[in-house]
Chain A
Amino acid sequence: MRLVRLLLKTLLKGPVTLAPPPADADSLAQLAQGLAARSRAVLGRSLAIRALDAGSCNGCELELQAVGGPVYDLERYGLKFVASPRHADVLLVTGPVTRNMALAARRTFEAMAAPKWVVAVGDCARDGGCFAGSYAVMNGVQEILPVDLVIPGCPPEPQKLLAALLALLETVA
């Protein structure tokens, strides 16, 4: 009964979802250099995203989870997180890429079908962040994979993540 009441109330109140941010201009500029319009027709307006933690502190994961939640609602744009790299168009990597994760990260990328894109999320994924120079990390995703887009921040806020991913959608799909 209580559950039914909650569901009704939620329905009547309307969505908690925030209005979409405009596609991020910086990201658009970054993407314009590398991607052109090479597969718009193939993908339609939809991208499947595989998130990969390559040794982050878990801060970026928290904000990625938020992006997938009801307030930011990534799926309304045709973007969705998928469980397998086999289903994914985009590999979204967090963390500085630890040496202990480098092989698994490479294999995850190799398991994806082309065309595929790599997005480095967070300051660590960009260049190692505050972990750069450690014996145990690779100093960023570009050291092991071809990166198409960097979303900086520590961690990047959900609106920033959304704006950047929308730019990716506009450019490639």
Chain B
Amino acid sequence: MSRYLIRRLLIAVPSLLGISLVLFTMLALAPGDPFGELATNPAIPPSVQASLRLKFGLDDPIPVRYLHWLTAMAHGDWGFSFVSRMDVDKLILQRLPTTIGVIGASQIVALLIALPVGVYAATRPYSIFDQIASTFALMGFSLPPFFTGLVFILVFSVGLNWFPFVFRSDLSASGLAWWWEEFKQCLMPITVLATFQAATWTRFVRSAVLDVIRLDYVTTARSKGLPESGVVLKHIVRNALIPVVTLIALQLPIVFSGAIVTEQIFRVPGIGSLLISAILANDTPVIMGVTFVFACLVVLFNLMADLIYGWLDPRISYR
């Protein structure tokens, strides 16, 4: 097991290097340039663009630029944004608390909904409860967040005037009042994200539980006269967790990278909105910084999922 872990961690380094190389090349080749807006303004001479490109080393060949980025990164220098000229790590750190708060909370809420609903629906397949849960779940992922978000705004902000729909990272209140304000402004983005996520997960949990619930050992456990709750928790859920763990591992890195659409709708200053504006402005250092951290998290969490499989089902061997 530990040898397996060490081997996997050792593989992770070159594999991350490979990912970073592919990312960098793709971003460098993608169309658009960071100084496009300058070009459309007739008052700005083209020489400004040329000197900016020179200054930021944009005219160097891609391999040279990659090596620059990599060596700087190894020294802890993340580079700076072409657009705001601020250091990339600073930009990311500014956005991190909000992202983790909002997205993290929504993932937890989603999980808290999806697990019980999915398990309960699967233990009574095609019951009324299952049907209703299924319909809601399917509705949940048929409607994109830009749509549900808008419906929320129209109902709760415009219609009822309960919650603000512009998220403010600089609330002036303090103490309890601050928490209340924060709660009010977080509620809608968290709900929109959580319902979308819960809808997806409910379906997966239901399917995973359905897969094990019909197995012989469950019937055996039941016939031994074990209490139903015990059967569900010990015999069914634990064995149904493998796909669930896989999904959570796939989803958790998103807590870092944010949710672009929802952040845009509610103006949540998370990393998602940083990323999308960087992408639209072709601000390569910022895109690279965010996606590289994201890639590290993807690799890390998927590795953790692989380890948890073995704990959940000891028969899974690592070779």
Co-complex (A, B): no
* B contacts, CB < 8 Å to A: none
